[in-house]
Chain A
């Protein structure tokens, strides 16, 4: 489950995203006895162009929240944010820039 909000503010577009994910690190998973799994990659695209890419390790918080700003895109365009985790599951969401 994820929520994305993209808004234009003074010429830049600010994007906020929240994803519900356990983000189990190696240490936590070992103690709890479950398989480790965390989001590893975030990509945002507008049209065919990649506007944002972020690769992370195991140390983001549970239910991670990210915010970023981009330039060169405008109101009304569609932005797609995709995340991918260690087990291969992906999810994406498309929003219109407000």
Chain B
């Protein structure tokens, strides 16, 4: 809960965030910039959850193909049975690591799907999924996939040089 106490302090100091602290839906986009800017997966996990140990668990399921033909549309499927507060996804191929965060409540079932894009520099990419349980512990799972070289992002970065 470091971020919440930090936010309360800055509000008391009279520094107003651009958007007032919302009471219901938590809009990560308006604060926690350190999380979105972190360039490696461990830094992003630390910015989000602090210095807690990660426990590998097979109750956290990160389902995706082992080979991505199109680096701009990689479907990922996230499932878990753990009683949890939040779920977050990271990858190590793009310049910033964090992909997204789901905040859970009594209506939530951890069964999400989405499509992600990664740089295709010919290397493999590892996705990391972290589930923050209601018991305060962090459970994680990883998935490694190879990405086909080529694709639009590659051209953009080549033409930059």
Contact of A60 with B160 in the complex, beta carbons under 8 Å: no
Closest to A58 in B: B96
The count of residues in chain B whose C-beta lies closer than 8 Å to any C-beta of chain A is 38
B-side binding surface: helix, strand, loop or mixed? mixed
- Residue B117 CB within 8 A of the other chain: yes
* CB-defined contacts of A66 to chain B, threshold 8 Å: 112-114
B28 (CB) vs chain A CBs: closest residue: A55
Contact partner of A61 (CB less than 8 A), chosen from B26, B73, B111, B160, is B73
- B5-13, B56-64, B101-109, B142-150: which lies at the A interface? B101-109
**Structural contact, A59 and B107, CB atoms closer than 8 A:** no
Verify A57–B107 contact, CB threshold 8 A: no
Complex-state Cα separation, A56 to B105, whole angstroms: 18
Partner of A31, one of B102, B117, B160: B160
| Chain B nearest CB, measured from A39 CB (Å) | 10
Partner of B102, one of A25, A54, A57, A84: A54
Q: Which residues of A contact B (CB under 8 A)?
A: 12, 25-28, 30-32, 40-41, 43, 46, 49-62, 64-73, 84, 86
Binding site for A on B (CB under 8 A): 24-29, 36, 72-74, 91, 94-96, 98-103, 105-109, 111-118, 153, 156-157, 159-160
